[in-house]
C-alpha cells in the first residue's frame, strides 16, 4: 500500500523556536546620540533589554560576544532606561517645537512632562495675561478664593498683564503671589479701574517693577503719577488714559531720570509737554513713541530733538500736524536713529524722504504706512540708503511700478511691505525677484498680486515669506 505524502517540511520549520519569535517594533529616535531600541512587551522586557536592530535581526549589546552563551561572560544586571515618552533628555529637545498654548496643554499629561515644561527656559519672553474673573475660584458658599499662582512662579515669569482689575484685585495679587514684591519686573494694566491710591500701593509694594504699562485705565489722574512713579522705572507706556495730558509728561520727566523707553498715546498732549524733557533724559532715553498725539506740531519736534539727542528709535505715528520741516529737524539732529515711524502723517511728502536719505545713514527701519503723498520720486531718494533693512509702504496710494524699480537697487532690504498699494501691477511686482536677500514680502490687498504671481515668487524667491 502506497504511503500518502505528508506535509512539506521547510527550512524555516526546523529553525530553533527562539528565532521564530516575533520581534518587537523599533522605536526610532530623532535625537542626536539616541540609539533606536525595541519597544517593551509584557513578559519579554528582559529579553530585549539593551538590544539594537541589526541587518540580521537583534544584535546583543557591546561586551557580549557573538559566539553564544558558552563563550559569554556572566551577564550583569539589566540596565534600566526610562521609556522614551518620559525620557527628560528627549523631552527637553522635543518641547521646543510647540507653541505656548500647546505647552500649557502638554503640561497636563503627566508629572514628568509638567516638571520638564515648567522650566523657565520654555517661557522666556512670554507674559501671562490674567483677566479679573480668572483670579478667583467660587466656593460652595458663594465666597471667592484667590487662585493659586505657584505654577507661574515655577515657570519664572518676569511680568504679568492684568485686565479689568480694581485696586482690591491688585492688592490680592500682591498678597497671594509670593514673588510679587521682588520677582516681578514688568506690570501691565489694561482696561482697569485702578485709582491713584491703587497705583501708589502697587508701585510701593512691588519694588522689582521697572517696566510699567497703563492702557485704557481712566480712573487714575496725573496726580497719581506724581505720587507713585519711582526712579527705578526704565520703561513706561501710557495709552488711552483720558486723564493724561501735559502735566503727566512733567511728572515723567521729573521723576524718571533713568527712563530708557517712553511710549505715549494721548490726544491732549501738546508741544508744551515736550518742553519738559531735559538733559536728564537725554543721556538715558533711547526710544520715544508719540502715537496719535494730534496736537503736536513741528515746534514740539524741536523740543524733542534738542532734549533727546541720543534717540535710536522715534515714532511720530498719527501726529498729523507734523510736516516735512519737522522731519528735516529729526534728520539733521538725530543721527543715531535706527528706526523711524512716520505712518499716518498725511502732510509728509517726498521732500521728507530726501532729508531722511541724506542724513540718517544708520537707519534700518522706516515706516511710511498711509503717507498718501509719497510718490515714486520719494522712493528714488530711499534707494540710496544702504543700511535700510525694513521698509513699510502700506496703503501708499501713489506708489507705482516705476517706484518699485528704484527699490531693486536696495540689496540690504530684508522686509518690504506693499500691502494695499492699488497702482502696482503684476508686471511691476514680478521684478522684486531681483531682491534675492528678501526674507519677508507683504502683498495683502494688492490688486496686482495674483495667484500666478505668488507661484512665480515661490519658485524664484524660495527663502522669502510672501504674505498674501
Residue range 418-458, pLDDT digits in tens: 999 999 999 999 999 999 999 999 999 999 999 999 999 99
Q: Write down the pLDDT at residue 233.
A: 97
Q: Which residues pair with 160 in a beta bridge?
A: 187
CB 427 within 8 A of CB 400: no
pLDDT, residue 77, reads 72
- How much is the pLDDT for 88? 87
Question: Dihedral (C-alpha) 104, 105, 106, 111: value to the nearest 10 degrees?
Answer: 80
What pLDDT does residue 83 have? 80
Provide the pLDDT for residue 82.
67
Instruction: Please give the CATH topology (third level) of the domain spanning 85-122.
Output: Monooxygenase (1.20.1280)
pLDDT recorded at residue 86: 84
How confident is the model over 186-232, as pLDDT tens digits? 999 999 999 999 999 999 999 999 999 999 999 999 999 999 999 99
How far apart (Å, rounded) are the C-alpha atoms in residues 117 and 156? 12
Q: HEC string of the chain?
A: CCCCCCCCCCHHHHCCHHHHCCCCCEECCCCCCCCCEECCCCCCHHHHCCCEEECCEEECCCCCCCCCCCCCCCCCCCCCCCCHHHCHHHHHHHHHHCCHHHHHHHCCCCHHHHHHHCCHHHCCCCCCEEEHHHHEEECCCCCEEECCCHHHHHCCCCEEEEECCCHHHHHHHHHHCCCCCCCCCEEEEECCCCCHHHHHHHHHHCCCCCEEEEECCCCCCHHHHHHHCCCCCCEEEEECCCCCCHHHHHHHHHHCCCCCEEEEECCCCCHHHHCCCCHHHHHHCCEEEECCCCCCCHHHHHHHHHHCCCCCEEECCCCCCCCHHHHHHHHHHCCCCCEEECCCCCCCCHHHHHHHHHHCCCCCEEECCCCCCCCHHHHHHHCCCCCCCEEECCCCCCCCHHHHHHHCCCCCCCEEECCCCCCCCHHHHHHHHHCCCCCEEECCCCCCCCHHHHHHHHHHCCCCEEEC
Give yes or no for a contact between 20 and 47, defined as CB atoms under 8 angstroms apart. no
pTM score, whole prediction:
0.80
pLDDT at 46: 39
Name the stretches of the chain with pLDDT < 50.
Answer: 1-61, 64, 66-68
Q: For the chain, report the end-to-end CA distance as a whole number of angstroms.
A: 87
Cβ neighbours of residue 119 closer than 8 Å, sequence gap 6 or more: 92, 155
What pLDDT is recorded for position 278?
86
pLDDT at 3: 46
Domain with CATH 1.20.1280 in the chain: 85-122
- And the C-alpha cell for 422? 492699488
pLDDT at 420 (0 to 100): 97
Burial class (CB in 10 A: 0-12, 13-18, 19+), 47: middle
Amino acid at each position: 500500500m502506497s504511503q500518502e505524502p505528508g506535509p512539506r517540511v521547510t527550512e524555516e520549520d526546523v529553525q530553533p523556536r527562539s528565532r521564530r519569535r516575533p520581534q518587537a517594533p523599533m522605536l526610532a529616535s530623532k535625537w542626536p546620540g539616541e540609539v533606536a531600541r525595541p519597544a517593551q512587551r509584557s513578559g519579554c522586557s528582559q529579553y530585549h533589554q539593551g538590544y539594537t536592530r541589526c541587518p540580521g535581526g537583534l544584535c546583543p549589546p557591546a561586551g557580549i560576544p557573538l559566539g553564544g552563551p558558552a563563550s559569554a561572560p556572566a551577564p550583569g544586571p539589566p540596565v534600566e532606561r526610562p521609556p522614551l515618552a518620559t525620557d527628560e533628555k528627549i523631552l527637553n529637545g522635543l518641547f521646543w517645537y510647540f507653541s505656548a498654548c500647546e505647552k500649557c496643554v502638554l503640561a497636563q499629561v503627566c508629572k514628568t512632562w509638567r516638571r520638564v515644561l515648567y522650566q523657565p527656559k520654555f517661557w522666556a519672553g512670554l507674559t501671562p495675561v490674567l483677566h479679573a474673573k480668572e483670579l478667583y475660584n467660587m466656593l460652595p458658599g458663594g465666597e471667592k478664593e484667590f487662585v493659586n499662582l505657584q505654577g507661574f512662579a515655577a515657570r519664572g515669569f518676569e511680568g504679568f498683564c492684568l485686565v479689568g482689575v480694581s485696586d482690591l484685585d491688585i492688592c490680592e495679587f500682591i498678597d497671594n503671589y509670593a514673588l510679587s514684591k521682588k520677582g516681578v519686573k514688568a506690570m501691565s494694566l489694561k482696561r482697569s479701574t485702578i485709582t491713584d491710591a491703587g497705583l501708589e500701593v502697587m508701585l510701593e509694594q512691588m519694588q522689582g517693577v521697572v517696566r510699567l504699562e497703563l492702557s485704557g485705565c481712566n480712573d487714575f489722574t496725573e496726580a497719581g503719577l506724581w505720587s507713585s512713579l519711582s526712579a527705578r522705572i526704565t520703561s513706561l507706556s501710557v495709552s488711552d488714559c483720558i486723564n493724561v495730558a501735559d502735566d503727566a509728561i512733567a511728572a515723567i520727566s521729573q521723576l524718571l531720570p533713568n527712563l530708557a523707553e517712553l511710549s505715549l498715546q494721548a490726544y491732549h498732549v501738546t508741544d508744551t509737554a515736550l518742553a519738559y524733557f531735559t538733559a536728564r533724559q537725554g543721556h538715558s532715553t533711547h526710544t520715544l513713541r508719540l502715537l496719535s498725539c494730534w496736537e503736536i506740531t513741528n515746534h514740539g519736534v524741536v523740543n524733542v530733538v534738542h532734549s533727546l539727542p541720543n534717540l535710536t528709535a522715534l515714532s511720530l505715528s498719527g501726529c498729523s500736524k507734523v510736516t516735512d520741516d519737522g522731519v528735516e529737524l529729526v534728520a539733521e539732529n538725530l543721527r543715531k536713529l535706527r528706526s523711524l515711524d512716520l505712518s499716518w502723517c498725511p502732510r509728509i511728502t517726498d521732500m521728507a524722504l530726501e532729508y531722511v536719505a541724506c542724513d540718517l545713514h544708520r537707519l534700518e527701519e522706516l515706516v511710511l504706512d498711509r503717507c498718501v503723498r509719497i510718490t515714486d520720486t520719494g522712493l528714488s531718494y530711499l534707494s540710496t540708503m544702504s543700511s535700510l533693512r525694513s521698509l513699510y509702504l502700506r496703503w501708499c496710494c501713489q506708489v507705482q511700478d516705476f517706484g518699485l524699480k528704484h527699490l531693486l537697487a536696495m540689496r540690504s532690504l530684508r522686509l518690504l511691505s506693499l500691502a494695499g498699494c492699488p497702482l502696482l501691477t503684476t508686471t511691476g511686482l514680478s521684478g522684486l525677484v531681483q531682491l534675492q536677500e528678501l526674507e519677508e514680502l507683504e502683498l495683502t490687498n494688492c490688486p496686482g498680486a495674483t495667484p500666478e504671481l505668488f507661484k512665480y515668487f515661490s519658485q524664484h524667491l524660495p527663502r522669502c515669506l510672501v504674505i498674501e
